[in-house]
Amino acid sequence: MLGSKEARLRKAFEAAKNSIGFDASIRGGHYHLATVSALLGEKSQAINSLEHAIRADRNYCYVVDQDKDFDNVRPEVEDLLRHLTKEAQAEADRKFILARDELADRRFVGVEEINLEKHIMEVMTKAQHLIGNKRYFDYLNAMSELGVVHKLIDEQKQHESKRSEAKDQVTKSFDRLSAEADALKPNYEGEKEVEFGYKIDAELRKVERLISQESAPLEDYRDAENALNDVSNLIETQKRNQSLRPEIKREAEAKISLASKEFVLAQGVWEEAEKRRRRYNVQSPLFLELCRLVEDARKTLDLSKAKLQQKDYSSIVEAKDLAIKAFDLALEAYGLRRDVIYQPLGNKHPAVKAAKKMIAAKRAAWRGGLSGAVIGTVGSCAFFDNIGRNLSFSEGLLFGVAFGILGCFGAYYFEMTKETKL
């Protein structure tokens, strides 16, 4: 019977070894080999196989403690468990110290990283408590928790790397934009451009304070990048304005000059309309509109000139636009001259009659003077020729001028004294 049992155990021993040789990852195979080895008295093989089984699945610690098949090697099993416990303790202590030292070198900045630090400390505290229990399973659990800690520390390293890269990028952009902003300062014109420069400097100072710190949250560096993008846009705008300012200033001055000339004409219309209104006590329905247009043109033109004096690009552009508006207002006012000067009086008004008579008299005087000059020259030459005397050219010309003057005044007097029919 004993031989038969030992033979079966030997057969089971070989089968277990073959099974492990075929696939060493089979957890139960190592434990089965350890069991058979213990029953056969193969202490070394039993302990080695049991160690493999326990390292693969720690629950075999509980199994072997209750398994009577290991009674023959119980002292060796207990030594193995003590060895594994000390080994796990040493490894847990090593990983804990490593994690603690790693944390000492880390710098947590910002809400996200501070929350990460809290999480790490919670896990570290849990691992420390497990190590303090001084049990094999707790050491293993502590190492598992410390594995989580190392992953979280690696995550923090990535945060720090991103912060460092962001700071370097912000610093480079700051240095470049600061140099560009300093180059623009001598060319600022007017209060608005100076204020524009103050705004650029204020944003740059904020970024400078940030990069002067040893470290800052990643969110702050991202905000700084956005602020520097805004500064870059402001600088590009100012560069464009400074390059376009001379040309737009010449255009504005030309528009103001044209508007001023047109305003003088419009104001002349208003003065003539006002003079006739007071003299004849007659007012066109469009007179108030003329007054409004002239006043608006004056105010707009004055504002345009004031904007031009501010010298900055945007004010000069406003000055140009205002000058164009003033010109249009003055032109519209000048276009009302016939409606507000002549039409209010009517064709039968004495002033209109007098104006028309004056025009007719001037035309008659022109015709009479020309006719008198021709008749006087020809007539004087014929008269003196009949009496046997030849006139010189200068004498004939003198008679022509004299008769021309008489014809001019005569025709003018006749036209002014005759009855005018309208």
Write out pLDDT tens, residues 234-277. Answer: 999 999 988 999 999 999 999 999 999 999 999 998 888 888 77
> Who has greater pLDDT, 288 or 342?
288
Q: What is the pLDDT of residue 419?
A: 58
Lowest mean pLDDT among 151-160, 172-181, 330-339, 381-390: 381-390
Q: How confident is the model at residue 192 (pLDDT cuts 50, 70, 90)?
A: confident
Are the CB atoms for 20 and 29 separated by under 8 Å?
A: yes
Q: What is the pLDDT of residue 378?
A: 75
Q: What is the pLDDT of residue 287?
A: 82
Distance CA 125, CA 109 (A): 21
Inform me whether the pLDDT recorded for 128 exceeds 70.
yes
Q: What is the pLDDT of residues 48-75, one digit of tens each?
A: 988 988 988 889 888 988 889 888 899 9
What tokens were used for 4? 């038969």
What tokens were used for 253? 């001055």
Q: Mind listing the domains of the chain with CATH numbers? A: 2-66 (1.25.40), 168-244 (no CATH), 247-341 (1.20.140), 350-417 (no CATH)
Q: Distance of CA 291 to CAs 22, 271, 325, 336, 344, Å?
A: 112, 10, 16, 11, 16
Specify burial of residue 130 (Cβ count, 10 A radius: 0-12, 13-18, 19+): buried
Distance of CA 126 to the CA centre of its chain: 49
Q: What is the pLDDT of residues 104-115, one digit of tens each?
A: 999 999 889 999
Q: What is the pLDDT of residue 421?
A: 46
Q: What is the pLDDT of residues 221-230, one digit of tens each?
A: 999 999 999 9
Distance CA 293, CA 291 (A): 6
Average pLDDT over residues 36-49: 87
Q: What is the pLDDT of residue 373?
A: 72
Average pLDDT over residues 330-356: 70
Inform me whether the pLDDT recorded for 2 exceeds 60.
no
What tokens were used for 247? 């040309």
CA angle 87, 88, 93 (to 5 degrees): 100
Q: What is the pLDDT of residue 1?
A: 46
Q: How confident is the model at residue 24 (pLDDT cuts 50, 70, 90)?
A: low
Average pLDDT, the chain: 85
Q: Please enumerate in sequence order all residues whose Cβ is within 8 A of that of 373, keeping only pairs 6 or more positions apart, or say none.
A: 400, 401, 403, 404, 407
Q: How confident is the model at residue 84 (pLDDT cuts 50, 70, 90)?
A: very high
Are the CB atoms for 290 and 269 separated by under 8 Å?
A: yes
Q: What is the pLDDT of residue 187?
A: 87
Q: What is the pLDDT of residue 339?
A: 78
Q: What is the pLDDT of residue 343?
A: 64
Average pLDDT over residues 294-304: 94
DSSP of 161-175? HHHHHHHHHHHHHHH
Q: What is the pLDDT of residue 414?
A: 78
Q: How confident is the model at residue 422 (pLDDT cuts 50, 70, 90)?
A: very low
Q: How confident is the model at residue 76 (pLDDT cuts 50, 70, 90)?
A: very high
